[in-house]
């Protein structure tokens, strides 16, 4: 793998590690039961700030494309993630989301003509097993709405990744501009639903304000320009594997801040998930040479 590609991969990998804080922040800092409001407060302020920085608005086909991508990558994704976090143990929600690389592989084949290799499909299944070993422990409760939300989150993000790769970006629009359009569109899509179903945001104490500020700045404002930068330069299936870092990093955070102990099975799952992520970054030609 060329040095430039390694650098881009490492930079892009930092994003899902930052996203791993979402579950911890949601459960420990945010008021419960407000997934729509939480989605708006995470996305819209960040999008508006980036719009003010870039000073570019979508035109032509990019008006509706930004709306579609913003709904998939931001609006629907954020709400489904919050619903899953509220209604499921974090381990179950993370395990459901780990199927995303397999969904991306199928969509990439259908929409981009990227034929999935046995190598990446195999490591995709291994990644699901590894994440399952990491995060599912003890007695697990199952909530149908939470399960559907978790699978839905994986599905909408997979569709958003592949469509973002398929459509690229217009001339003169960098990854920060694309992030601004999608965050703003995704946040605006959620506003009427948040007002209709949840009303105005509840009274927020200092902890909640800090939690929302963290999710907005780290989880959106800083992360999405980097994410779209990486997506523009790396194979879409390889990028999708980086999302497995979120449950792995969330386990480490739980160990550090919530005093959650790691079992031997979790350690093995952690190693398997990281191996799957690293192996999936190898291009097919490199794999063919090594196995020849």
Question: Mean pLDDT, consecutive 10-residue segments, the chain of 292 residues?
Answer: 75 88 84 90 96 95 96 93 74 65 78 71 71 59 75 89 90 94 97 93 90 95 94 81 73 66 67 67 50 42
Residue 292 lies in a domain: no
Asked if the structure places residue 169 within a domain, the reply is: yes
Residue 208 sits at the vertex; the CA angle it makes with 204 and 210, to the nearest 5 degrees, is: 125
Range of the domain at 72: 3-282
pLDDT at 287: 45
pLDDT score for 226: 96
**Is residue 83 situated within a structural domain?**
yes
Quote the pLDDT of residue 64: 96
Angle at 105 between CA 63 and CA 238, to 5 degrees: 85
Q: In sequence order, what are the residues at sequence separation of 6 or more whose Cβ sits closer than 8 angstroms to the Cβ of residue 44?
A: 183, 184, 187, 188, 190, 191
The pLDDT assigned to 277 comes to: 63
- What integer pLDDT is reported at residue 286 of this predicted model? 45
Q: What is the predicted pLDDT for the residue at 292?
A: 41
Residue 21 in domain: yes
Residue 228, in any domain of the structure: yes
In angstroms, the CA 47 to CA 176 distance is 10
Q: Is residue 289 part of a domain?
A: no
Residue 114: inside a domain? yes
Domain count, the chain: 1
Question: Looking at residue 9, what is its pLDDT?
Answer: 87
In a domain, 241, yes or no: yes
């Amino acid at each position: 793998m060329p040095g430039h590609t390694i650098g881009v991969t490492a930079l892009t990998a930092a994003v899902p590690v930052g996203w791993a804080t979402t579950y911890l922040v949601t459960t420990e800092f945010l008021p419960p039961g407000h997934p729509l409001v939480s989605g708006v407060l995470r996305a819209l302020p960040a999008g508006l700030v980036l719009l003010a920085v870039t000073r570019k608005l979508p035109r032509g086909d990019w008006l509706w494309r930004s709306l579609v991508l913003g709904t998939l990558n931001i609006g629907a994704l954020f709400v489904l993630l919050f619903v899953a976090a509220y209604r499921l143990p974090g381990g179950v929600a993370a395990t459901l989301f780990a199927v995303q690389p397999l969904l991306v592989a199928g969509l990439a084949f259908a929409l981009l003509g990227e034929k999935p290799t046995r190598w990446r499909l195999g490591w995709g299944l291994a990644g699901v097993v590894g994440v399952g070993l990491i995060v599912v422990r003890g007695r697990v409760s199952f909530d149908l709405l939470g399960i559907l939300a978790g699978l839905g989150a994986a599905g909408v993000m997979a569709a958003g990744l592949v469509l973002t790769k398929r459509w690229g970006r217009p001339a003169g629009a960098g990854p920060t501009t694309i992030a601004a359009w999608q965050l703003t569109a995704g946040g605006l899509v959620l506003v009427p639903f948040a007002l209709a179903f949840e009303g105005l945001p509840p009274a927020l104490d200092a902890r909640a304000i800090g939690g929302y500020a963290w999710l907005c700045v780290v989880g959106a404002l800083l992360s999405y320009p980097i994410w779209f930068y990486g997506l523009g330069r790396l194979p879409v299936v390889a990028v999708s594997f980086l999302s497995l870092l979120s449950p792995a990093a969330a386990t480490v955070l739980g160990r550090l801040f919530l005093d959650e102990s790691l079992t031997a099975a979790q350690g093995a799952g952690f190693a398997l998930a990281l191996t799957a992520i690293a192996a999936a970054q190898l291009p097919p030609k490199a794999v063919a040479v090594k196995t020849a």
